[in-house]
Amino acid sequence: MMKKFLIQISYTVLPVWLLLVGLATYLWVTDDNSGDLMRLGLIDSAPEYSDSIRETLLPEVYYTGLDNDSLLRLDTCDVLVIGDSFSHGGGMGKQGDYVNYLAHDSGRRVVVFTPSDPTLSSPMQVAYDILNLGCIDSTHVKNLVVEEVERYLVDRHCGFVTTHTSIPRPVEAAEEDAAAPADAPGPLQRVKDFVFYHLFGANPIYTVRLSQPAFSSSEPDKLYFYNEDVQLGFGVTAEQQRKVVDCYDKVIALAREKGVNLVLVVACDKYDMYQDYIIGNPYPAKTLNEDIGQWMAPELDRFVFAKRVLHPLVEQGVKDVYLFNDTHWSPSSSRIIAGEVIAKLK
């Protein structure tokens, strides 16, 4: 009886188990060096592309990272940066983000405050709290750079408050990367996702064709982007607009009161950057970058809009303005954005 049972298992359960183990191993191997869009969508593509881009990175990291406001109160710097994954090494890592070029090219001491509490996902909220709670009063920070991606901007600003009495201490849990899609949690989950994505069309990564080559990859006219790029930041109501502007106004006013030069960087969603070149684009036009520019016209000089800066390069046919396999802009674009920020420093 036992022999018969083992034979049945060898023909049924064992092959399925081996298939799952093999698939999990395959997904683990293809995870490496593939960009956040490829990892999230479980798409086997572009590790060679990442290798070629990595050759252009700065040789080291030139800025300092802090994750505790108690340390921030003791650390003097010329430039303090608060942001999301665009400011925390998203894309090709810290060597290639705009903050690294900001520190390297300006020659100034730059500190990035990266709260490790996952509830601190709004850069503008963190900036307000740091100013309001006196975290940098004693260090006399001259310049505060606040960066946020447009995808979550409206929701974040609508949740903005002025009543916090402290900044939560860092926790052991990994920092939530609020500007980019997170990797799947484990091998079994990835296997499940692979089945759903490939058999049921549930992939969170959208793929479209462009009317011109935009990347130096093996598929130069193929655009991968996160589905939330076309789900968030549309149809902003009058009340939401008021809250967006109110959030900006309060942080700007507080920075002015503290004598801090505030520079606001609005990162562009990848879909927004390339939407004009999508063949037969079925998705709505995204105008949030332009809208914010109109809403905040009186304070326009303190803004760096990534779309205004980088979109002309796309129009000129420059490749890899954003990364082919990732939600973030490329290291070459990081350097351009850093230059725009440096021009606004005091």
DSSP string, 10-79: HHTHHHHHHHHHHHHHHHHHHHTTS-HHHHHHT----HHHHHHHHTTS-SS--SEEE--HHHHTT---SE
Position 69 confidence tier, pLDDT thresholds 50, 70, 90: confident
Residue range 218-239: mean pLDDT, rounded: 93
Is the pLDDT assigned to residue 163 strictly greater than 50?
yes
Residue range 72-80: mean pLDDT, rounded: 92
Position 250 confidence tier, pLDDT thresholds 50, 70, 90: very high
The pLDDT > 70 percentage for the chain reads 79
Residue-range domain boundaries for the chain = 59-181+193-342
Is the pLDDT assigned to residue 79 strictly greater than 90?
yes
DSSP state of 289: H
pLDDT of residue 39: 76
**299-317: pLDDT as tens digits:** 999 999 999 999 999 999 9
pLDDT of residue 116: 61
Query: Among all chains, which residue has been given the structure tokens 């593939």?
Result: 34
The residue ranking higher by pLDDT, 33 or 244, is 244
Residue range 127-144: mean pLDDT, rounded: 94
In this predicted structure, which of 26-40, 117-131, 279-293 has the lowest mean pLDDT? Answer: 26-40
Concatenated DSSP letters for 49-66? HHHHHHTTS-SS--SEEE
Please give the angle made by the CA atoms of 166, 257 and 249, to the nearest 5 degrees: 80
The burial class, CB within 10 Å (0-12 / 13-18 / 19+), for 298 is exposed
167: phi then psi, degrees, rounded to nearest 5? -100, 125
Alpha-carbon 281 to chain mean position: 24
pLDDT of residue 25: 52
pLDDT of residue 175: 38
Query: Among all chains, which residue has been given the structure tokens 């954005």?
Result: 337
The dihedral region occupied by 2, where left means phi > 0, alpha psi between -120 and 50, and beta the remainder, is alpha
Please give the angle made by the CA atoms of 78, 126 and 175, to the nearest 5 degrees: 100
Q: Tell me the pLDDT of the chain averaged across its residues.
A: 85
The residue ranking higher by pLDDT, 64 or 7, is 64
Position 294 confidence tier, pLDDT thresholds 50, 70, 90: very high
| Contact (CB, 8 A) for 92 and 53 | yes
Topology annotation, domain 59-181+193-342: Rossmann fold (3.40.50)
pLDDT of residue 178: 42
In this predicted structure, which of 91-100, 120-129, 203-212, 246-255 has the lowest mean pLDDT? Answer: 120-129
pTM (2 d.p.): 0.84
pLDDT of residue 183: 47
In this predicted structure, which of 63-77, 105-119, 258-272 has the lowest mean pLDDT? Answer: 105-119
Residue type, position 281, single letter: N
**177-224: pLDDT as tens digits:** 444 454 445 555 555 555 556 555 578 899 999 999 999 999 999 999
pLDDT of residue 23: 46
